[in-house]
Each structure stands twice: as structure tokens, then as C-alpha cells.
Structure 1
Amino acid sequence: MKGRQIILDQVNDREAAALMVDGKLSDFLIDGDAPRPGTIYRAVADRPIKGQGGMFLQTPDGSAFLRQVKGLSPGQTLLVQVTGYAEDGKAIPVTARVLFKSRFAIVTPEAPGLNVSRSIRDEDTRDTLKGIAHDVMRENGMGLILRSSCATAEPEQIAEDIAAMQDLAEAILADAEGAAEMLLEGDGPHLVAWREWTDPAEVVTHEAGFEDLGVLDALDELQFSKVALGAGAYMFVEPTRALVAVDVNTGSDTSPAATLRANLAAAKDLPRQCRIRGIGGQITLDLAPMAKKDRRAFETAIRTALRADGVETVMAGWTPLGHFELQRKRERLPVAALLS
């Protein structure tokens, strides 16, 4: 099926959302049991970690870890926000710089000022958006970021979104004193889909939408580590406890350009595989053997693919053994475990 479809449904009684682009699964979100990213706690400082500049905090959902702590003593309360999912057996990762994020606006309590997404380049549009923001924002010291989705939105929608996030921020910040408590739960898959998948798409909400539009078939493929790359090439995407190993092979293609072609195909598809599989953390790519002169082309290809991906990923670079390493933020839960 051509075009974009956003399908909101459930899998194993878990809320889930799928983005299909031209009949292929492009993104997938599923709810888990861990605290959702974006959740805001009133936390209590517990104990510092000497030498690491961090501190463990008490929350209603267990221990959390806050990096780069200054001037914080055990017993103090503070507001923190979940930034991602913890590895097994580790504390919930949090930040003290809370954000209030919606489809069109992000309110930044500790970063005053008005910013418009750089992807909106038309000066008249930027001026119009700034005018809407100045009309809605109050003198409360908070900052505002207007997202790229504002470019095609109605002024009333943008104004309502700014006002709602501002009201929410003021209410949460006014409730900073007291025992450890969850003050705001992070958005579930359906709300995240509405917030982040803003390009025009058909939205499907009827029962059995996943089955009717091929999502369940695509999810079945995630039970296997082998991914076809075309022209006989393939890669294996295999999570381990320490890292995610990606092995790229040319397969039946023995032409002189086979290795570079396979590696470029892997670079293009890897971000999608990470999204739909819920992959994060350290990723090591064992690429098909290629000349060092071709490395720049590979780096350009994977950088371009990651730029369109949206999940924070650091290109760590080449190892002495010729592997290529990435560090990806853990914004998703591993999907395979939630589907079984």
C-alpha cells in the first residue's frame, strides 16, 4: 500500500502504534512495564556516587540516577524527568532539566527565551509564530521552543498547545515540595505517535488495524535477526547483554562493488531496524570488508540516515579491528521481549 498510515492498536494487551510507509514498517512504539520517558517525579536525594559526579535518588518506582550533581545533599527533594529506559538491574536515568513537550511546543522552565525550529526557514512564517508565542506566553521566566510541525499548523492549534504546556509546567513546578511522588506520567505510544509523527498520514484506529494493514506480519519478522538488504546481501542484528552486534554480508553478490553496496544498504536501513526493534546502547557494526577509501562514503550514508531518524545517536567511529561503533540513546524498550 502506498503512502503513510499511522495505526493505533494493541499487541498482547499493550498499547502500541505503528507507522507504515509504502507498505513497510517504518516505526513502532509499544508500552512496557518500566517508567515511560517523560515521566516527572518529585524525587528525594539518596546517596552520591563519588568519582562519578552523580547521585542516586528515591522515586515511587525505585532508584533513579542523576548525573552531574552540584549542590545537592541527601534528603533534599527535587523535580526530575525520566530520559530513557534503564538497562536490566540499573537505576532509572533522569535529568533535573524537565521539559514539557507536545506536538507543536516545548516549554523549557530552566531555559528562558523563544526559539523556532531551524527547519522553518520562511521569515514570514517565523515572525508569525513568534507573534503567536508572545501573545500566549506569560511573564513566568519559562522558555519556549516551537517545533517544525508548526509550519503547517493552524494558529489556533499552536496557541492552544502553548497554553496547555505552559499551564502544565506551572502546575508541576508549584508542586515541588513533599515526599517522593510521580507528578506526571510520560506519554504512551498513541500520544507519542500524535506528538512525533507529524507528516501527513492516514490515521487508522479501528480494531484489528495491525492485522489488516500488515503490521503483525512485519512484527513477526522481528523475531529473526537476519535482515535482507537487497541484491543477495543481508545483515544480522543481534542484541547481547553488553552491546548490539550487527554483521553485514554480501551474500551471493560477488561483484567488485558488492561490499560497498552492502555496507551502504546496511547504513540506510540500520536506523529503521533500531526503531522497530527498540534497540539502544552500544552498537558495533562488523561490516563487509571494504577498502579504507570507501569509509567516507559509508560514514556519509549512515550520518544522513541518522539525521532523519530522530533518536539521539553518537557516531563513535572506527575501531582498530575495522568495526564501526555507535552509541544510541535508550528511548525504546526491546520489542522482541514484549511480543513474546
Structure 2
Amino acid sequence: MKGREVRVEALARGGHIAALAVDGRLEDLLIDPDPADPTPRPEAIFRAVAGRPMKGIGGVMLELGRNRTGFLRTPRPPRPGAGVIVQVSAWAEDGKAPPVSDRPLVKGRAAILTPGAPGHNIARSLRDPERRAALAALAETAMRGAPEGLGLILRSAAGDLADAAIAAEIAALRAEAERLTPEGPGGELRPAPGAAAEAAREWLAPGEKMVEGLGDLWDAVAALADPRAPIGAGFMAIEPTRALVAVDVNTGGDTSPAAALKANLAAARDLPRQLRLRGLGGQVTIDFAPLAKAERAQVEKALNAALRADGIDTTLAGWTPLGHLELLRRRSRRPIGAIPEGAGAGRGRGAEMSRRA
């Protein structure tokens, strides 16, 4: 399969699984959680009620409704009982409340509205001066009469969409954003997008359509149940623990003089994709194959290039005295856990593998 393809399939337990493939390789994956799971999802916006400040950890616990809580890290916590608009910023760690932000983003395909952050901004990736000027004029017109403090960001996708479609999306997002006020009963005001909706928003190019059913991509999805990810003749083992994600790079059957460097560079290039597909974040510790200090710069360069294309906030924390490289990665995805079962039949070997995983 050549080219780029977005596939989506309904899950037997409800919700969807969406996959992005480029030249037949699985590049990204979104899976809806079990519909019975009440855990707040990233991007969901709530009208929350502030609890008592927790000065020891620099924040405040918030009631999100339906016996759900969130944690807002802030030096100026709202008074207890006050209403506050917050957005879930990452998946919760086991046994902890999800982190939330009091600077919500109302995101669409072409535009993002930013309550509390005024101004009009255009993605830097849009470099054509004429297109930027046209988009600036469109933004001025579309945001005329908006509440003070409501800002707008035009995303990269705005460069390829029709002006009428962008203006219509901004109008719809404004209607949502202008309803986000702290007064009123607590609860969810804007749900997080499902896997199918997020895939359409983030992956589809103008005029492109989703393909129904994952087909042979189920093989690649089922393979994520194995902690071992092949990298040429070697492999890396990616194993999440409660404290961190441990990555061990191995040369496998390659016994050539440059085997370790080849395996380490291949691991650095593919690690962000593997973490993305597996939904892993937080602290990541990489134990590379035997690596000379003089080769660290090469490995870091390869990893940084892969991270720039990844899209998930990740910080290289540095090398430990034992020679491990540590990363800190945002928990924007949920660990994949058990491979879900699709609602359709006839998936062939991929279906059989997903049942066994």
C-alpha cells in the first residue's frame, strides 16, 4: 500500500479505533476507551468547583462532577467553592487525579480559540505572504465582536481549506467558547473528541476520505502487545512500569563492528513512533546498546529529529551517570493495554492475533 491512508473501524465494546498508515506502515493510532470508563479525557472542558488549596504541592483539587476530580497546578488557587473553567491536559496516572489547565483551548481543524489569551496568530508553517495576509483579514472579520480576551490561532490546515469553511468553523467554535463561563452548575461543557473525530481533524487532508475498516493494519496493532519492537537486525524492548518506561536497545544477531551504533540510531529514529503507538508517556529511560560518549551527539541528533516530527511534547532530560538517556514525555495518550476487538468480521490474521493478545 503506497501513500497515506486514514482508516477507522468500530469496536465491539463501543467507540472506534483509527489508524494512520504511510506507505503501509502504521504511523499513528487512536483508540477510544471503554464507554463505561468515567476517566476524564484530554481536551475535555469542565466547569469545575475549587476545593481547598494544597500548598504543599502548589495547586488545588477541583470537583469535575460525577465524582470526578482534577488537579490544577497554580500559584494563585481560586477560593474554595469558586467556579472555574478547566481543560484536562493529560491522562491521569494510576491512582491520581488528571492534571487540568485553566487556559482551555477550543480546537477545530483549521482554528483554535483561546479564552483568556487574546490576539490573532497564524501558524508559522504557513509562509506564503499572500496567504498569510488573506488569513489575517479573514481572522479579523471572523472575530469581530468577540468577547474581550478571546484569541484565535489559525492552524497549518487553514492554508489548504476554503475561506468559507474556515469562517464557518470559527463561528461554530466561537459559539462554544462564549458559553465557557464559570457561572452555573459544574460538569462537562465540551467533551473530548472521539478517535474517529480526532483522526478526521488531525490527519485528513482536504478532499481526503477515511477508509472503513483497519484491514491488514490489525497485524501491526496486534504486534503492539509485544514489548519487543524490531529495529533492523536488532530490537528494542519497551516496558512500562509504574515509575517509568524502560527501553532496552539490543543488537540482536548483528555482530558487525558498527552493530551497536546502527541499532542505537535505528532505535532513536523509531522510538517516538513506538511510544506514540503504545500510548506511553511520563519518564522514559533508555538503555542503549554499548555506546561511546563520542557517539552520544549522533544519537541525540537522530532522536531530536524524530521528536520534532512526533508532535507530542517531549523533553530530553540528559544522560545519567550510568549512561542512560532520560526523556520526559507528555501523557497525551493512554497506554494501549489489551488490544481491542473490532466490531467487523473477516479481518483475517490480524483479528486472530488481536484475540490472542
Instruction: Tell whether the structures are fold-level matches, with TM greater than 0.5.
Output: yes
C-alpha deviation, 1:69, in angstroms: 3.9
Structure 2 segments unaligned to the other structure (5+ residues): 341-356
Length-normalised TM-score, structure 2: 0.90
1:196: how far off? 1.2
In structure 1, the partner of 2:73 is 67
Partner Cα separation in structure 2 for residue 198 and residue 130 of structure 1: 24
2:78 & 2:339 partners in 1: Cα distance?
37
Q: Report the Cα offset of residue 201 of structure 1.
A: 8.4
In 2: Cα distance, 1:79 partner to 1:201 partner = 35
The answer to whether the aligner puts 1:94 opposite 2:108 as a matched pair is no
Other-structure match for 2:192: 186
1:266: how far off? 0.6
Residue 274 (structure 1) shift: 1.1
* 3-state SS, counterpart of residue 16 of structure 2: strand
Q: Which runs of 5+ in 1 are unaligned?
A: none
What's the CA shift string for 1:134-183, capped at 9, x where partnerless?
A: 1111232211101011111111111111111112101223xx21332111
User: Which secondary structure does the structure 2 equivalent of 1:171 belong to?
Assistant: coil
- The answer to whether the Cα contact below 8 Å between 1:278 and 1:334 also exists between their aligned partners in 2 is yes
Between the aligned partners of 2:315 and 2:309, the Cα distance in structure 1 is: 14
Which moves more between the two structures, 70-79 or 283-292?
A: 70-79
Matched residue, 1:15:
16
- Secondary structure of 1:265's counterpart equals helix
Which amino acid in 1 is paired with 2:314? T
Residues 133 and 201 from structure 1, CA distance in 2 versus in 1: closer, same or farther, beyond 3 angstroms? closer
- How many residues in Structure 1 have an aligned counterpart in Structure 2? 333
**1:228 CA displacement:** 0.7
The equivalent residue for 1:165 is 173
**What's the TM-score, normalizing by structure 1?**
0.94
Q: CA deviation at 1:50?
A: 1.7
Q: Do the aligned residues in 1 keep the contact of 2:225 with 2:338 (CA within 8 Å)?
A: no
Large movers: runs of 4+ above 6 Å: none
From 159, 163, 169, give the equivalent of 1:155.
Answer: 163
State percent identity of aligned pairs.
50
Q: Distance in 2 between matches of 1:254 and 1:150?
A: 50
Aligned-pair CA distance for 1:204: 3.3
Instruction: Name the residue aligned to 2:238.
Output: 237
Q: C-alpha separation between the residues in 2 aligned to 1:25 and 1:254? A: 29
Matches of 2:94 and 2:77 in 1, distance apart?
29
Match for residue 51 of structure 1?
A: 56
| Matched-pair contact (CA < 8 Å) for 1:60–1:181 | yes
User: Structure 1 254/299 Cα, relative in aligned 2: closer, same or farther at 3 Å?
Assistant: same
Greater shift in the superposed pair: 156-165 or 102-111: 156-165
Partners of 1:69 and 1:233 in 2: how far apart?
47
Superposition RMSD on alpha carbons, in Å? 1.5
